[in-house]
């Protein structure tokens, strides 16, 4: 029996980790029916000459932690489980929490449902050591790989569409990655900082590839298997979280945020005009109706900006404070635009139409800058703001060891 080790303090990569050591991070949510078989197959697959340990990061509402603890007693490698009382960040958040506690040269991330074949774990790490890659991905979309285990044509179509979408949005970050939706991969612990990751939902590989930008990537083909037991956790809600995650990643740079800000502003005309039509149709005078209808567009824009552009900065201020500041800036835009048009026409001799266009551009840029600075100031790092991966092991959940 190997000596047992609890997960180390988060964010501290122990300098004495054995060379070539591997930590398998397995996020679980109600996977009690898969645990014993998964550990049995890992027992056959993991090489005896390489230090390996398994860390389950569990968000279950059933008895999965107890099942893990019981099953772990029969295996010659350390197995530990961290049960999180609050599933912050979903599956991606669980993986990041595991990364922060890893004490090994290599980290392998895989699902617990046996759709990711355990016998490929040594091959993923071996490929990384042979090629010098920082990230090795098990891919369904290279020669020798297959998505056969995806249930039904609908899930196949969704998976393929998500792959095309992500590769189209991040062509440089995902160059050389054929399967950015894969949840089965190995990475060097030294190549990723858990504190830099801001996952949302279950596509953690996309988060790692875009934010960490590994210097070298390799791929290994794998055949996606059928689920061993239990039900798929892929839902419409997870799909919406995935789209929000894409928007958050794509808008990480200021120019991209400004473009997104402008596009969202354009969509605000729809609720604005709809509200104006309803109010005037109900008999309200068009002038007060214009003012009230403008607030519908402001609220629409605020919700989309909150969800798509500034998700990571929402904790800086209370939501009511953010709403008030955003509405004030949006309405001040109207007050500023008319004097600007007058200045452009009277002082610069511009025509009314070009003056109006220039005023629109000017107030848009000013409103974007003011929204970033006054509504969504970046949070300063403090102990209270530490990410889940930076918390000590005792804080977010409980550990059991076997």
Q: In this predicted structure, what is the pLDDT of residue 232?
A: 65
pLDDT at 150: 64
**Which residues share a beta bridge with 108?**
24, 186
Going from the C-alpha of 97 to that of each of 45, 65, 244, the distances in angstroms are 25, 16, 21
pTM: 0.62
How far is C-alpha 37 from the chain's CA centre?
29
* Predicted local confidence at residue 401, as pLDDT: 40
Per the CB < 8 A criterion, the answer to whether 182 and 205 are in contact is: yes
What pLDDT, on a 0 to 100 scale, did the predictor assign at position 383? Answer: 41
CA dihedral of 35, 40, 42, 44, whole degrees rounded to 10: -170
What is the model's pLDDT at position 12? 36
Q: pLDDT in tens for each of the 402 residues of the chain?
A: 233 333 333 333 444 556 789 999 999 988 888 999 999 999 989 988 889 999 999 988 888 999 998 888 877 789 999 999 887 877 888 888 898 888 899 999 999 889 999 999 999 999 999 999 999 999 998 998 887 766 556 666 777 777 788 777 788 878 888 988 888 999 998 888 766 676 665 678 888 888 878 889 999 999 988 877 766 656 666 666 677 767 666 666 677 777 778 888 888 778 878 888 888 888 888 778 877 887 888 899 898 888 777 877 777 788 888 888 888 888 787 778 778 888 888 888 888 777 877 877 888 888 888 888 888 875 554 444 444 333 333 333 444 444
* Residue 1 confidence (pLDDT): 26
């Amino acid at each position: 029996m190997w000596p047992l080790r609890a997960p180390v303090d988060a964010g501290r990569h122990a300098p004495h980790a054995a060379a070539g050591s591997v930590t398998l991070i397995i996020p679980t949510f109600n996977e009690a029916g898969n645990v014993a078989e998964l550990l049995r197959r890992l027992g056959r697959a993991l090489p005896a000459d390489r230090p390996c340990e398994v860390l389950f990061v569990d968000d279950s509402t059933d008895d999965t932690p107890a099942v893990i603890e019981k099953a772990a007693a029969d295996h010659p490698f350390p197995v530990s489980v961290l049960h999180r009382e609050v599933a912050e960040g979903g599956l991606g958040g669980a993986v990041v929490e595991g990364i922060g506690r890893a004490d090994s040269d290599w980290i392998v991330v895989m699902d617990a449902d046996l759709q990711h074949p355990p016998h490929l774990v040594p091959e993923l790490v071996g490929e990384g050591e042979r090629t010098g890659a920082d990230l090795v991905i098990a891919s369904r979309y290279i020669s020798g790989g297959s998505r056969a285990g995806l249930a039904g044509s609908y899930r196949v179509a969704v998976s393929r569409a998500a792959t095309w979408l992500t590769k189209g949005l991040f062509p440089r970050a995902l160059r050389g990655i054929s399967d950015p939706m894969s949840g089965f991969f190995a990475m060097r612990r030294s190549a990723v900082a858990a504190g830099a990751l801001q996952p949302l939902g279950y596509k953690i590989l996309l988060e790692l590839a875009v934010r960490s930008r590994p210097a070298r990537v390799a791929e290994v083909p794998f055949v996606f298997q059928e689920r061993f037991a239990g039900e798929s956790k892929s839902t419409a809600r997870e799909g919406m979280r995935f789209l929000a995650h894409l928007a958050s990643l794509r808008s990480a740079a200021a120019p991209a945020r400004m473009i997104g800000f402008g596009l969202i502003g354009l969509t605000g005309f729809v609720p604005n005009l709809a509200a104006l039509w309803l109010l005037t149709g109900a008999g309200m005078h068009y002038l007060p109706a214009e003012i009230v209808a403008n607030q519908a567009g402001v609220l629409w824009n605020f919700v989309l900006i909150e969800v798509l552009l500034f998700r990571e900065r929402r904790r800086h201020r209370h939501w009511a404070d953010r709403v008030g500041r955003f509405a004030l800036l949006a309405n001040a835009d109207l007050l500023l635009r008319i004097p600007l048009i007058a200045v452009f026409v009277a002082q610069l001799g511009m025509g009314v139409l070009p003056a109006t266009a220039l005023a629109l551009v000017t107030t848009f840029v000013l409103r974007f800058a003011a929204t970033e600075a006054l509504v969504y100031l970046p949070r300063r790092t403090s102990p209270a703001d530490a990410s889940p991966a930076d918390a000590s092991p005792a804080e977010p959940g409980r550990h059991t060891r076997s």
